[in-house]
Amino acid sequence: MSAAPVRQHRPVSVGATARKAAATPTPERHPHLRAVAAPEQARSIAPFAWTCILIVLGAMAAVLLINTQMTKGAYERRDLKIEIASLHEQSAAMTDTLERYDSPSYLAERASALGMEPASTLGSVSIADGAVLEQGE
């Protein structure tokens, strides 16, 4: 329900409507009235639509560029992992070779191949005197 007062309609006679029609203002009676200009044309939405389309296309291009760069980085990462695995294999092979060449049996074998013989006595060198100190067998 609204708080507005309720209007009661009274029946209007035919003569009253004629008097009312005669009482309507005419342009001659009210000189302060003037003609109103037509409303301006509505603005076009084309610039807004083009701006939206350009924003969407720019976003799609940015996503494509980022995706391409990530794919390129993934391929570089894969290549680096393959290279690291190859370097680990080379390192393991070199470590095995070094351990084999460092073993006492290989050193004794190479020394005898060069004509060296095992020492009959053990000794050490004194750095202060420069003398060779021999120990007995």
What are the pLDDT digits (tens) for 80-108? 999 999 999 999 999 999 999 999 999 99
In a domain, 88, yes or no: yes
Number of domain units in the chain = 1
- Average pLDDT of the chain is 83
Parent domain of 103? 74-113
Which residue, among 105, 137, 132, 107, has the nearest Cα to 120 in the 3D structure? 137
Instruction: Determine, yes or no, domain membership for 37.
Output: no
pLDDT tens, 39-79?
Answer: 887 788 999 999 999 999 999 999 999 999 999 999 999 99
48 vs 24, residue with greater confidence: 48
Structural Rg of the chain based on CA atoms: 55
Domain assignment present for 124: no
How far the first Cα of the chain sits from its last, in Å, is 127
In a domain, 32, yes or no: no
Is the pLDDT at 27 greater than 60? The verdict is: no
User: φ, ψ for residue 63 (rounded to 5)?
Assistant: -65, -40
- Provide the pairing of β-strand 132-135 with 122-125: antiparallel
Average pLDDT for 7-14: 56
pLDDT score, position 34 = 81
User: Residue 20's pLDDT is what?
Assistant: 56
Q: According to the model, what pLDDT value does residue 46 have?
A: 93
Tokens in use for 106? 């290989």
Q: Does residue 95 sit within a domain?
A: yes
What is the predicted pLDDT for the residue at 130? 81
Residue 132 lies in a domain: no
100, part of any domain: yes
Looking at the domain assignment, is residue 106 inside a domain? Answer: yes
Copy the structure tokens of residue 96: 């095995």
Question: How far, CA to CA in Å, does 27 sit from each of 31, 55, 81, 82?
Answer: 6, 54, 93, 95
Give the model's confidence band at 118: pLDDT under 50 very low, under 70 low, under 90 confident, else very high.
Answer: confident
* C-alpha to C-alpha distance for 25 and 3, rounded to whole angstroms: 33
